[in-house]
Structures are given as structure tokens and as C-alpha cells.
Amino acid sequence: MPDASLTIGEALRSGAKFLANSETPQLDARILLKRALGADDASLIANADALLSGDDYNRYSELLKRRASSEPVAYITGEKEFWSLTFKVTPDVLIPRDDSGALIEAAIKRRGKEERLRIADLGTGSGCLLCALLTEFPEARGVGVDLSAAALAVARENAASLGLAERASFAAGDWLAPLSGAFDVVIANPPYIRETDASTLSQDVAAFEPHGALFAGPDGLDAYRAILKELPGHLAGDALVLMECGADQADSLGAMLGEIAPGDAIFTLYDLAKRPRGAGFDLRKREKKD
């Protein structure tokens, strides 16, 4: 733990050293110190030589202890940025990942921002995908579905805080079960981790993130099977479907999508590191590179 009577700069360095087992110790220490002080990056830099008060030191120390026990920073601070938007997160929802932005990018490439789209977000969790889409498509309306009432409460709060409450609704249920009518865009980040891979997960994920949003049967594809069984009855004639998956599942998911969509409509999504991140189909069959 950092010692008392440290300057802000010293506290950052000491905190990062204390969190040496984290993949991002310097970043974690900075975020937690900002939280303890109620400060921003500019303030930390400008006041690097200022001494921490006793209360500030105690708050910072407690946050560092939580992170050292593998609790994710996002759950400690209660928020996570995604698509340049700030989302509330709790242990009832998965923490948004930057790589999920591949789904948002694909939607932007394939649909016009002026379109009056009807969007369905299956397994909405924090609502990050739906809210990101609604900010990019100001004429769109959407519904987020989740089996967890606690997750839906978080999603509703996020939509309201982002000024999207009038265009975002939420429904409790199993995938498409609570929905009616046809949708222009269906987006989903369902559970896709194989149950046999549980031991390979980092402690941050395995011990803290909701297991119901992580695991999907022996091959990790159970959620897709459930969704695709009902999906055709909820698609508009020129619908766009976007689904996240594991890097080694894109071919399997693409083959599953091929059972309900033409082969030339199917495409693979890639994350920031150019790894397969998902698959989808566009019934407009636009030839666009993702």
C-alpha cells in the first residue's frame, strides 16, 4: 500500500507498484486516484506535488485494495466509457469492451444516419450497444431485451442519463420472446464462452462478471441457436443483423447465419486488432468491407 503523507505524483507511482499484478497498473492507479480525489487528469498533473489529505489517502487505499483483489476498475468506480459515452455499470451487467464497437461501426457503414430504423438489442445488459446506436442514428428507436431485471434497471438509467429515454424502451424476457413486429437492425452480444473454458478466464472476469452473461453451453453457441430459431419472424425485408462472438467462433456463427440468410449477405466483423469479433448479415447485400 502507498504510505501516508505522499504527494499526488508519489501516490500514483506507489499505487501502480501496489497493483503490479494488474495488466494496466498505471492506468488503474490513475483512475482510482481520480475517483478518490474527485479530480480529472488535468488536476492530477497540475497538483502533482500537492500532499494527499488523510481522508483522500484512506479513500485511495481502500480502492487500491479492492482492485488488488481483482475487482474490475469499472465495478469499483461504477462506470465505463464505451463509444465515447459514459455508462453506469454494476455487477449485474457485463463491462462494455471497446472491441464491441465493431458492431456499431458495421451498422454505420451499412445504414444511413437519417433512416428511421427499428432496432432490437438482444441481451442488452448495460444498454451500451443500443444507446450507442441511438446516438449514431438520431431517427431510430430501439428496444433492449434482457432476462435480468437488475440489468434492465441499469440500462434504463443509462438511456435516461444519455437523453435517449424517449427513443429507447426495455423488455424483460428470453431473447426475442417479449418482442413483436419486424426490426430493421438486430444487434446482440450474447454469452458465448464455452463452459469448459471457465478455468481459462482471468480472475477479474470469472469472479466478478455475471456468469449468465458469459457462458453458453459446451461449445459456446447455445445462445445463438436460441436466437436464430426465432429471428426470421422478427426481421424486416432488408434487415441488418450483427452478433458478437469469440475469435474462433466467427466461422461457426457465419454458418449458422447462413441457415436463415443468403450466403452473399453474410460477413465477418473484426475488432481493433483485426481479429474476428462477430458475424452478421445484411439483407440489402451491400458489398462493404468490415
**In the chain, what percentage of residues exceed pLDDT 90?**
80
Q: Cα-flanking dihedrals φ and ψ of residue 81, to 5°?
A: -85, 135
What CATH number does residue 237 fall under? 3.40.50.150
Q: How far apart are CA 138 and CA 115, in angstroms?
A: 8
Q: Residue 149 sits in which domain range?
A: 79-282
Last residue of a domain, which of 69, 90, 107? 69
Average pLDDT over the chain reads 92
Task: Note whether 152 and 54 are same-domain residues.
Answer: no
pLDDT in tens, 143-199: 999 999 999 999 999 999 999 999 999 999 999 999 999 999 999 999 888 787 776
pTM above 0.75, yes or no: yes
Task: Note whether 13 and 146 are same-domain residues.
Answer: no
Set of cell numbers at residue 11: 501516490
Task: Note whether 141 and 207 are same-domain residues.
Answer: yes
Task: Note whether 90 and 44 are same-domain residues.
Answer: no
What CATH number does residue 65 fall under? 1.10.8.10
Task: Note whether 83 and 187 are same-domain residues.
Answer: yes
pLDDT in tens, 100-144: 999 999 999 999 999 999 999 999 999 999 999 999 999 999 999
Burial per residue of 116-147, b for 16 or more beta-carbon CB atoms within 10 angstroms, e otherwise: ebbbbbbbbbbbbbbbbbbbebeebebbbbbe
Task: Note whether 59 and 84 are same-domain residues.
Answer: no
Instruction: Please check whether residue 111 lies inside any domain of the structure.
Output: yes
Set of cell numbers at residue 141: 428507436
Task: Note whether 214 and 131 are same-domain residues.
Answer: yes
Residues 6+ apart with CB under 8 A from 289: none
Quote the pLDDT of residue 287.
47
Task: Note whether 24 and 116 are same-domain residues.
Answer: no
Task: Note whether 136 and 93 are same-domain residues.
Answer: yes
- Number of structural domains, the chain? 2
